[in-house]
Structure 1
């Protein structure tokens, strides 16, 4: 596995590879990208096909490989797949659902098979709020119990939180809860209205900035790392803050947007990563998407290699070229480091190159200087 700090050429290799091992899940989350259902699809990638995919991921030397769902634990071969990846030099993160399948024994077995990190969702500070998201009573308590079990055996834990209109007001309480449990990373997802996600659940552009401020403030004092998903303009926010701090010579620590490694050795995404640009998603059926939130297929790994699709698909090539961006994103001085959420643009307009509607920043159109290296 390559060191996470190694510079990557996003035209040749992704930083993050996510495989949706199944869409089967016993939860029914209100914002689920996958519209998951209890029963597995008979056309899912088989164990053999999954291992072939893992071989490609190993050859690409992607620093981050995530097995997601649905609920990966709905696949009886998930332990075999984790062990196969681990023995082939791939560091794996797994995102199981908080259900009775996620037992202490299952977590221990995953660790013994070589799992590097357990990532589990927490969308509210109380059972009432979280379980309303997951639409299954008891999910909140199962989540916290799974975190305790993982930490007891020394397995690093990541918490995923999706910010929507329904839990925005509870951010302070969620942060307070996270400070009480031992995690290495808080991954904050910003809703893309696809699958079960609704446009009415989106927060406003101004509220995005308020959340960015909260994340930045929190990052100054907590022990765990914080990253955002589908909020590429958080990088713009951080760069602006870094510029302000330089002027003030305050010496305050700002979160790095260069490649870095979290305590468990799994790489942290460098700046500039975006849907199809350093990021690739493989569906349970083998379809290759720029992300799980941008459901436009470039092809299928059953017919064409992942490496070939990532490098040469016209859609992926176009997504990596900032000259294709439209509206204010196309003239923004932060376009190389940010680029806006291509998934959200597609969900809202049907055009994956449209401007990021959830960004308040008005580009200095006459100032073509790119600030990503300032």
Structure 2
């Protein structure tokens, strides 16, 4: 089901379950601040199956992403995938690029009914990727896993973090995705949580420039493009469509995919939910404010009825310039970044440079000019 046709008050488009925070890697951006050992209070196999049963109450075809840490540190992943598949869930996984992702496990996951596997590529070369992931050989392991997944008939998604360290590699990563046959590029704009606090984010004008470039990539490449924690990608796409339409109605609007009034944005708590390794339910893994625990309440009850989730679904409760923005129903800003930088998940997203016409309130940045130009010395073209 396309998110545009989803009632996000009733069900999330994406439900992530963090199976474990344990992982061999020490990635610079890690939200979970992953550890080498598993937590003793992780959800058990039986508790996980009850969670999947509750997730099935959202409706047929609910998308479930098994995440981590490295979810493959658990030996029950194939059992959980098969159980979810039998319940009618669309089971996917985001393993780490480590030795745990063997050909046997990939084939076992495919046989269990896995629908997609996502891997991370944060550099276009072994040197840049391995440095970012904190593990020599991670790049080679990831490419090997992609090839084996394709042999097993599993579509592969690639996740990439955008920050000062990685922005220069984006064009070459784009080329690499084409070569390896990825079906989707999920581009994550850094949120300063976990180990990600030590990384340098890009500026708002740079973010808009990257999103405009991604919009071009999406029309040129065989794989899809989506952003994570950067919902103003939709605003950039709409504005570019209008410019290309010479002031008339854009193709996206004519097709009914925008109109600004149409609600399409998927953000933390509104079309998105996250279950931690110990059962806490967050609007997002990057917004670690618990609304309840699946050991005490079903995940569907928490998602639909918890005040935190309900407030995030009411775009008219947004504050600052996000609350005044005509694009708030198709964008809504990153609630996770607002929370990480202000402590208030309803505040403005500081990564968005757009200022609504007539807005004269406070702005979440310094008095730098917001030109929308790419950073000096970085080319996002061919």
The two structures have a TM-score, normalised by structure 1, of 0.90
1:210-221 to 2 correspondences below 5 Å? 210-221=209-220
Match of 2:45 in 1: 47
Aligned with residue 6 of structure 2, among 5, 8, 25: 8
* 262, 266, 269: which one aligns with 1:273: 266
Q: Which residue of 1 aligns with 2:20?
A: 22
User: Counterparts of 2:125 and 2:109 in 1: how far apart (Å)?
Assistant: 28
Deviations 1:315-340 (CA, angstroms, capped at 9, x unpaired) = 11111111221111010110111111
SS at 2:245 equivalent: helix
Query: 2:372 maps to which residue?
Result: none
Relative to structure 1, the CA distance from residue 301 to residue 5 in structure 2 (aligned partners, 3 Å threshold; closer, same or farther) is closer
**1:151-166 alignment runs, 5 A limit:** 151-166=150-165
Which residue number corresponds to residue 353 of structure 1?
Answer: 346
- Counterparts of 1:209 and 1:238 in 2: how far apart (Å)? 10
Deviation at residue 199 of structure 1 after TM alignment: 6.3
* Structure 2 CA distance for partners of 1:158 and 1:258, relative to 1, 3 Å: farther
> 1:13 deviation in Å?
1.3
- 2:13–2:63 Cα contact (<8 Å) kept: yes
Aligned mate of 1:299, from 292, 310, 317: 292
After TM superposition, list the pairs within 5 Å mapping 1:162-201 onto structure 2: 162-198=161-197, 200-201=199-200
Alignment of 1:325 with 2:318, yes or no, is: yes
State which drifts further: 80-89 or 3-12: 3-12
Change (3 A) 1:200 1:155: closer
8 Å contact kept, 2:232–2:331: yes
Rounded to whole Å, the distance in 2 between the matches of 1:257 and 1:186 is 24
Match of 2:276 in 1: 283
Q: Would the aligned equivalents of 1:33 and 1:195 in 2 still touch at CA under 8 Å?
A: yes
Is the CA contact (8 Å cut-off) linking 1:346 and 1:354 kept in structure 2?
A: yes
- Give, in whole Å, the separation in 1 of the partners of 2:109 and 2:101: 10
* Deviation digits for residues 110-147 of structure 1 (CA, Å, limit 9, x no counterpart): 00000000101000000111011110100000000000
Tell me the C-alpha RMSD between the 2 structures: 2.0
Residues 252 and 318 (structure 1), Cα distance of their counterparts in 2 relative to 1, 3 Å cut: closer
Counterparts of 1:54 and 1:162 in 2: how far apart (Å)? Answer: 29
Q: Offset of 1:365 from its aligned partner?
A: 3.2
Structure 2 unpaired stretches of 5+: 360-382
Counterpart for residue 240 of structure 2: 241
Partners of 1:244 and 1:287 lie apart in 2 by 44
Cα distance in 2 between the residues matched to 1:257 and 1:292: 31
Q: Is the 8 A contact 1:11 1:277 kept in 2?
A: yes
Distance change >3 Å, CA 304–CA 5, structure 1 → 2: closer
User: Structure 1 regions of 5+ residues with no counterpart?
Assistant: 260-269, 367-374
Q: Map 1:88-107; keep pairs closer than 5 Å.
A: 88-107=87-106
1:333–1:364 CA contact under 8 A, matched in 2: no
CA–CA distance in 2 between the matches of 1:83 and 1:257? 37
Cα drift, residue 246 of structure 1: 2.8
Q: Return the offset for 1:244.
A: 2.1
- Asked whether 1:230 is paired with 2:229, we answer yes
The answer for the alignment partner of 2:309 in structure 1 is: 316
SS state at 2:243 partner: helix
CA distance in 2, matches of 1:187, 1:257: 24
- Output one character per residue of 1:27-49: Cα deviation in whole Å (capped at 9) or x when no partner: 11011000111111110000001
Q: Deviating runs (4+, > 6 A) in structure 1?
A: 248-254
Task: Determine the C-alpha separation between the residues in 2 that align with 1:330 and 1:38.
Answer: 41
Query: For residues 257 and 33 of structure 1, do their structure 2 counterparts lie closer, same or farther at Cα, with a shift above 3 Å needed?
Result: farther
Change (3 A) 1:331 1:188: same
**Conservation of the 8 A alpha-carbon contact between 1:257 and 1:271:** no
Deviation at 1:257, TM superposition (A): 9.4
Q: Is it true that 1:340 corresponds to 2:339 in the alignment?
A: no
Q: Structure 2 vs 1, CA of residues 90 and 312 (structure 1 numbering), >3 Å: closer, same or farther?
A: same
Size of the aligned set, in residue pairs, is 353
Q: Equivalent residue of 1:196, what SS? A: helix
Query: Secondary structure of the equivalent of 1:304?
Result: coil
Other-structure match for 1:58: 56
Q: State the distance in 2 between where 1:71 and 1:44 align.
A: 13
